[in-house]
Structure 1
Amino acid sequence: MTTMRPSGLWELVEWRAAASPDAEMAVDEHGRRLTFGEYRAAAERAAAGLAAGAADGGGPGRIAAVSWQLPTRIESLVLVAALARLGVVQNPILPIYRDREVGFIAGQARPAMLVVPPAWRGYDHAAMAHRIAGATPGVGVLVVDGALPEGDPATLPPPARPGGAPPVRWLFYTSGTTADPKGALHTDAALMATAAGMAERLDMTAGDRNALVFPFTHIGGIVWLFAGLLHGFAQILAETFDPRATTDVLRREGVTTAGAGTPFHLAYLAAQRENPGDRLFPSLRVCPGGGAPKPPRLHLDVKRELGGAGVASGWGLTECPILSMASVRDPDRALAGTEGRAMPGVDLRVVTPDGRVAGPGEEGELRARAPQMMAGYADASLDGRAFDADGYFRTGDLGTIDEHGYVTVTGRLKDVIVRKGENISATEVEGLLYEHPGVRDVAVVGLPDPALGEVCCAVLVPEAGREPPSLRELSAWLGERGLMIQKHPERLELVEALPRNPAGKILKNDLRSRFG
């Protein structure tokens, strides 16, 4: 076995299977388990089965891409490795996508195969896939009801060992809600760099057991697969996150890294508070986060009540995942209020509205050059607008970088509320409202107003067992913390839960449509 780090995913699967074949690679909520050695063998059988299907007309052996939309299951992990063994481009699709999004993706990516479950969570994915295939020439459908197709690995050709520049192996689509999703092209090398940097910040070892409880088809799910293979730790899978049932599974399986973002961490805290005298996750080291802003108090609550290092969150995009990330060794101030420092090899800068590179602590658009940067968009016409003249990717996120290199994301360029000519950062207001003891979750959005242009509306999930705070009470709270009166919410809406996408980001367009 080579001691050099593999350059591609299939090489990584082989390398890990040789290094620790009997170590547990994955376990699901039903107690099904898979070792790294078994993972490699299952992937080769599946690759042979898929290749045999290609010989019968329409499988991945003849293609540019395979699109797949499976839940977070052991079979999904095996499929990824099988497609890597075949050397094809794979296109994971979020399970919440329906005809419009999947149809658009199929029309642009032109996969030879669309892999779906028969039905999942009450939706008939197979029927959707056949509708899309019928309207998109050349697209075949594989319905996976449990096991993947299998064949004899001896029939497979030797694995491809490409030389030169890393080839594109991945096509991930952004989870936008107002326009067609954008497809980002990635290499194994880019995802490997992301996984290695993340694992270093979290001090991951072979003894860890990670909570993979969000959609595996998200780019973050694939990054965690790479990280587990690099370091030999196990993934605890949950097909659907249920605050009570999933928490029980994580406890049963001795979770050490309990991700994967604010809504998950809030659920863990709620479960812990139901049994304050009983440590929920005795082996917990850290709660990794990302994908959505976190209330500043969340880290301290998690550290005090759940234990471990608290919340170590990161920031990135589908186009360039995890550009910055906190370390388990960072001070509480940084863990509570920032997204950590730039990942290894990442060059970040803040650019002010007038095009000047900002100084420490000065707000502007965060831009990046990084080894985990996408190779471009599937629609190459989008590339020119995505990068500035110096080759930095325009993230569209507003933020600051302090004198110690810590990144704070303050909002989105498109998420600034303009009230009577005054710019209001929704993230700034949300951060202060999160600290109110009567607030469990909150989003701040701008709503149209004929006199002011926009008004600031706080959409709030009250803390259980407490009287919901009034608008007057929230305004007094914000005033005591020094927020200028023009930035105070002028409208309050109470809801049971905020709408979020699978990455945990709040769907603010849904809130604007509902309350606007």
Structure 2
Amino acid sequence: MKIQDVERVGDLAAAAAEAWGDKEFARFGELAVSFTELDRWSDALAEDLVRRGVGAGDRVMMLLVNRLEVLPVAVAAWKIGAIAVPVVAIYRSHELNEIVKDSRPAAVVTAQSLGPRALAEELDGCLARAGVEPAARYLVDATESVEGWGTLPPVDTVPTGNVVLPEPSAPHEECLRLYTSGSTSAPKGVRLHSPSVIFGGRQFNYRLGIDETDTGLALAPVAHIAGFLAACLVPLTTGAGAVILPRWNVEDAVRVIDEHKVTWSLGAAVFLKDLVEEYERRKGDGLHVLTYYVSGGANTAPDLIERADAIGMWAARTYGMTEMSGVVTLAPRESSVDRRSLWDGKLADNAECRILDPDGNPLPVDTEGRITIRGVQVLLGYTDPALNAAQIDAEGWFDTGDLGIVTADGWMQITGRTKDIINRGGEKFSSADIEHVLHRHADVSAAAVFGVPHDRLGESVCAYVVTRPGATPPTGEALAEFMLAQDIAKAKVPTEWHFAEEIPRTASGKVQKHLLRAARDGEAPIALAPTSR
């Protein structure tokens, strides 16, 4: 099958191997695999999954930091009609309990440990609490045996051909599930199908011309849609190679970009800012500069795009969501610096945008309102039917929860958000989830959390706390320690604390966060407790 004719993700690896063969598909440190090796490795993994009882429609969950193994496991799941479920490793048992309960995986893949964390033990606990008994549990790079866990077949494993594999899932069936935080407390399960996922990768060819002559840098977590695009979907659909960073470090990134002549990447604005500053600092070193950078996930300052252009890097703001397999707007390669710096990209060719007023009525072009999107890239739905009812209407329009304008020729500009979420370096967190954890503290009477501007990460987490009457007011440091003890992701812990006498609310009891924001900026009075810090 020709790569351009593929309609099911389960057919991508074989078609890519036929098209690009021994060309390097992806690299992680010294370990690299070609397109042919990926196809063979994923065949062997698919056989092992089927032998253990995993089949069509089952969920294959990967809790891993950036590693090459995420890619063949996802491809193996697709080959047998199963659903790949990459999960970012910043999540701890607080979030994992909900994800395991929702996904009920038939197979799990993780590392034995991550720093001080015993990942296999964490997952065992989550699985037990959810009453889930997977057919397969795999460890990567295990230093010792762990009861109940096997070892993931390595890259040189050869498929036997003796196992009959199920057919890949049909194009419009779920193939990829990603968990993202939103306006609700628990992580939301986003269900994506083959057309969405395949177009998500191909549009980098359509708009930027990315092809087999290019090499991408996966600098975001590979279990996040941005990292998964760079490491897996764009290579499988365009033939571009990929280099996966183990973690973000700008000096390492610049070295890898130079060594492998990397041409493109995408991710949060924080990565672009670090790269631009490093290139400016090392001007005259003769380094190969990254050719394209697609910046999304947090507000990107116009001057940052201009600074990138001055050092020879094409950079552009973009708008995307996990619910749309990544980016839904992308500037064409020939776009001017002004367009790329002041606008958030041009709507994808497959997508329609409708801007609504507060009553749900369509607005004319160039008018600010609530953004709704319809098209191939939009998710099949959430795992929670209540969320589907709230965000997807009968005609397939998805309510993004964001505010903006769109021009007659499809250029979009984001002006704000209606959802109560925090976007920290491209990772979206629910304010409600963080508040719920704070409310567990015996001395906390009320808490309100929201995002505040951060020069590097786009947003950081700010908390207003009311102490229970008669209690000794805790410090911000003490509350941070308490939250970490609740196994919440470290990135969700507030870095800015205020202690107030009360939280302003409407007559119906809804927290008025706009007043808290104004108080923080010195624009409105809020009664602060003496312990404010």
Is residue 318 of structure 2 the alignment partner of residue 318 of structure 1? no
Cα–Cα, structure 1 residues 330 and 297, in superposed 2: closer, same or farther, change >3 Å? same
Task: Quote how far apart the aligned CAs of 1:178 are.
Answer: 6.0
Among 188, 193, 198, which residue is 2:194 paired with?
188
Distance of 1:247 and 1:394 partners within structure 2 = 38
Distance of 1:373 and 1:107 partners within structure 2 = 24
> CA offsets per residue over residues 158-185 of structure 1, 9 Å max, x none?
551555x622112211134861011111
> CA offsets per residue over residues 134-172 of structure 1, 9 Å max, x none?
222233332222672256331221551555x62211221
The residue aligned with 1:156 is 163
Is residue 376 of structure 2 the alignment partner of residue 377 of structure 1? no
SS in 1 for 2:324: coil
Cα–Cα, structure 1 residues 379 and 144, in superposed 2: closer, same or farther, change >3 Å? same
Using structure 2 for the length normalisation, give the TM-score: 0.74
What runs of 5+ residues in structure 1 fail to find an aligned partner? 417-425, 451-485, 494-513
> CA offsets per residue over residues 227-269 of structure 1, 9 Å max, x none?
2111111001012112222332222111100332211111112
The residue aligned with 2:17 is 17
Letter in 1 for 2:349: P
SS in 1 for 2:102: helix
Distance of 2:532 and 2:345 partners within structure 1 = 34
Distance of 2:114 and 2:460 partners within structure 1 = 33
What runs of 5+ residues in structure 2 fail to find an aligned partner? 143-150, 422-449, 467-514, 523-530
The residue aligned with 2:138 is 142
Distance of 2:47 and 2:408 partners within structure 1 = 54
The residue aligned with 1:92 is 86
SS in 1 for 2:210: coil
Is residue 291 of structure 2 the alignment partner of residue 285 of structure 1? yes
Cα–Cα, structure 1 residues 27 and 400, in superposed 2: closer, same or farther, change >3 Å? same
**Pairs within 5 Å for 1:436-455:** 443=459
Cα–Cα, structure 1 residues 443 and 93, in superposed 2: closer, same or farther, change >3 Å? closer
Distance of 1:76 and 1:444 partners within structure 2 = 29
The residue aligned with 1:128 is 122
Structure 1, 392-401 or 197-206: larger mean CA deviation: 197-206
Among 102, 106, 122, which residue is 1:108 paired with?
102
The residue aligned with 1:33 is 32
Distance of 2:268 and 2:292 partners within structure 1 = 12
Q: CA contact under 8 A between 2:79 and 2:168: conserved in structure 1?
A: no
Distance of 1:78 and 1:152 partners within structure 2 = 13
**Pairs within 5 Å for 1:340-355:** 340-355=345-360
The residue aligned with 2:242 is 235
Q: CA contact under 8 A between 1:185 and 1:376: conserved in structure 2?
A: yes
> CA offsets per residue over residues 41-67 of structure 1, 9 Å max, x none?
111122223333x1xxxx524762111
Task: Quote how far apart the aligned CAs of 1:403 are.
Answer: 4.0
Q: CA contact under 8 A between 2:70 and 2:86: conserved in structure 1?
A: no
SS in 2 for 1:335: helix
**Pairs within 5 Å for 1:240-389:** 240-282=247-289, 284-305=290-311, 307-309=312-314, 311-321=315-325, 322-388=327-393
The residue aligned with 1:73 is 67
> CA offsets per residue over residues 48-103 of structure 1, 9 Å max, x none?
23333x1xxxx524762111111221111111111122221121111111112111
SS in 1 for 2:265: coil
Is residue 415 of structure 2 the alignment partner of residue 410 of structure 1? yes
Letter in 2 for 1:365: R
Letter in 2 for 1:340: G
Cα–Cα, structure 1 residues 35 and 490, in superposed 2: closer, same or farther, change >3 Å? same
Task: Quote how far apart the aligned CAs of 1:415 are.
Answer: 5.9
> CA offsets per residue over residues 335-393 of structure 1, 9 Å max, x none?
00111111011000111223332223211111011101111111223211112464311
Structure 1, 366-375 or 176-185: larger mean CA deviation: 176-185
Percent of matched pairs sharing the same residue? 24
